[in-house]
Structure 1
Amino acid sequence: MEKNIRFILFSLLVLGNQAFAQLIHSHNDYEQRQPFYDAYNLGFDSIEADLYIKNGKLYVAHDWKNITKKRTFKALYWKPLLAKIKTNKGYAYADKKELYLLLDLKKDGKLIMAELEKLIKRHKKDLQHVHITISGDMPKTEEYAQYDKLFFFDGRRNTQYSDEAYKRVDMVSASFLDFGKYWPGKQELPEETYQNIRAFVMANHAKGKRVRIWGTPNTTLGFETLKKLEVDFIGTDDLELLKNFVEK
């Protein structure tokens, strides 16, 4: 009986690891020369934007001091995305590939969520093939059900979720430093860190959840290591480098 249980558990882990395709993610995309377009034109699966709210408008910036009138969420992301969806007859990409939009709420999360709800209200049908995931200053887990079902939420390793709330978790994210010391990605990853990340990946895949790790290096060895570890979202600030790695 014990051997059978072990076999079933192992099978679940293997099946979980095979369930997801690895995706390329534009980390801090708003810092690119052309936010949205640079990643989109390279066919990135996932795009990340940090959001602030000021005087009722949503702005894209890494810090409050970086907010400018021209860098609104509508101008840099919302309108370009809706335009692509219109061109591609309901899909972000012409080949019908789905797009992940990760929105990191830097502060005033409830106010930002209220504004986002207003934005999607008129475009719910247009967004059926876009995954909108909320990160950062997120609502409490017991509040997830209050928000439109188009919104998913970025999970955390040590957060306890009810069954209903867990259904709204689109991915589980963690900092690289949760698993080991800073790694520049120029030499092999220390074995202990490697196994810590591997356990994190396998545990979440067994539960049917994708994983993302932030704070990883922008190097080819870094990408190779994340690929080998089966991390689902391989993130970068160097879009060309990651795209070239994937194509090769």
Structure 2
Amino acid sequence: MEKNIRFIIFSLVLLANQAFAQLLHSHNDYEQKEPFYAAYNLGFDSIEADLYIKNDKLYVAHDWKDINRKRTFKSLYWKPLLAKIKANKGYAYANKKELYLLLDLKKDGKQILAVLDKLFRHHRKDLKHVHITISGDMPKPEEFEQYDKLMFFDGRRNTEYSDKAYERVDMVSASFLDFGKYWPGKQQLPEETYQNIRAFVMANHAKGKRVRIWGTPNTTLAFETLKKLEVDFIGTDDLELLKNFVDK
């Protein structure tokens, strides 16, 4: 009986793992020479932008001091995305592949969400094939339902969610340092760290959730390791390096 239970659990975890394709994620995409377009033209599945709000406008920047009136969310991401959707007859990509847009709210999250909520409600049809995930300064899980259902939220490994709130969690993210010491990605990942990450991945896959780990190195060995660990979002700041790794 015990063996049968173990086999059933193993089969469920295996099926959950097989349900997800690994995705190329452009970390801090706005720091690329061509925000949005650099990752998009390479066919990246996921693009990340950090958001601030100032005078009711959304700006893309890593820190408040970096806010530039020319670098708005509307000009760098929103307009290019809508243009691509229009050109591709309702899809972000011509091959109908869906695009993930991860928006990291650096501060004043509720104010930013109010602007985004209004913006997205007017473009529900355009965004049918775009996954929008909110990260950073997020509302409490019990407040998720207050926002348009187009928006999902970035889960945290130590946060408790009700069943209803958990439905709005699109992925579960964690820092690499949650699993072990800093790793430059030039030698094999320590076994203990590897197993810690593996347990995190399997536990969330069994619940039907994708996983993302931030703070990973930009090296081919790191990409190979994340692929082997079945981390769903393989993030990088070096777009060409990751794309070449995948193509090979």
| TM-score of the superposed pair, with normalisation by structure 1 | 0.99
Instruction: Tell me whether 1:236 sits opposite 2:236 in the alignment.
Output: yes
- Deviation (angstroms), 1:118: 1.4
Name the residue aligned to 2:135: 135
Task: Specify the code of the residue in structure 1 equivalent to 2:186.
Answer: K
Give the aligned residue type for 2:143: E
The CA distance in 1 between the partners of 2:175 and 2:89, in whole Å, is 37
The residue number in structure 2 matching 1:31 is 31
Task: Give the superposed CA RMSD.
Answer: 0.5
Q: Which residue of 2 is the match for residue 21 of structure 1?
A: 21
Aligned residues: 248
Cross-structure match for 1:112 = 112
Deviation at 1:128, TM superposition (A): 0.4
Structure 1 residue 129: deviation in Å? 0.3
2:144 maps to which residue? 144
* Deviation at residue 3 of structure 1 after TM alignment: 1.6
1:52-63 to 2 correspondence within 5 Å? Answer: 52-63=52-63
Offset from partner CA, 1:166-211 (integer Å, 9 cap, x none): 0000000000000000000000000000000000000000000000
* Deviation (angstroms), 1:13: 1.0
Distance 1:156 1:122 in 2: 29
CA distance in 2, matches of 1:115, 1:136: 16
Match of 1:224 in 2: 224
Query: Which 4+ stretches in 1 moved above 6 angstroms?
Result: none
| 1:178-217 correspondence to structure 2 within 5 Å | 178-217=178-217
How far residue 9 of structure 1 moved from its aligned partner, in angstroms, is 0.8
Partner of 1:166: 166
Q: Structure 1 stretches of 5 or more lacking a match? A: none
The letter for the 2-side match of 1:112 is I
* CA–CA distance in structure 2, aligned partners of residues 98 and 5 of structure 1: 36
SS of alignment partner, residue 180 of structure 1: coil
Distance 1:246 1:56 in 2: 40
Tell me how far 1:138 sits from its aligned partner: 0.3
Counterparts of 1:12 and 1:193 in 2: how far apart (Å)?
24
Q: CA deviation at 1:119?
A: 1.0
* TM-score normalised by length of structure 2: 0.99
1:64 deviation in Å? 0.1
Matched position secondary structure for 1:152: strand
- CA–CA separation in structure 2 for the residues paired with 1:122 and 1:9: 43
Q: Distance in 2 between matches of 1:148 and 1:92?
A: 20
Partner of 1:113: helix, strand, or coil?
helix
By how many angstroms is 1:111 displaced? 0.1
Residue deviations 1:196-246 (CA, integer Å, cap 9, x gap): 000000000000000000000000000000000000000000000000000
Cross-structure match for 2:89:
89
In 1, Cα distance between equivalents of 2:71 and 2:157: 32
Specify the code of the residue in structure 2 equivalent to 1:201. Answer: V
Amino acid of the residue matched to residue 158 of structure 1?
N
Query: Which AA in structure 1 matches 2:90?
Result: G
SS at structure 1 position matched to 2:59: strand
Cα distance, 1:5 vs structure 2:
1.2
Deviations 1:102-160 (A, max 9, x none): 00000000000000011112111000000000000001000000100000000000000
Q: 1:5 & 1:135 partners in 2: Cα distance?
A: 37
Unaligned runs of 5+ in 2: none
Alpha-carbon deviation of 1:88?
A: 0.2
Match of 1:50, SS?
A: strand
Structure 1: distance between partners of 2:204 and 2:152: 16
Secondary structure of 1:195's counterpart equals helix
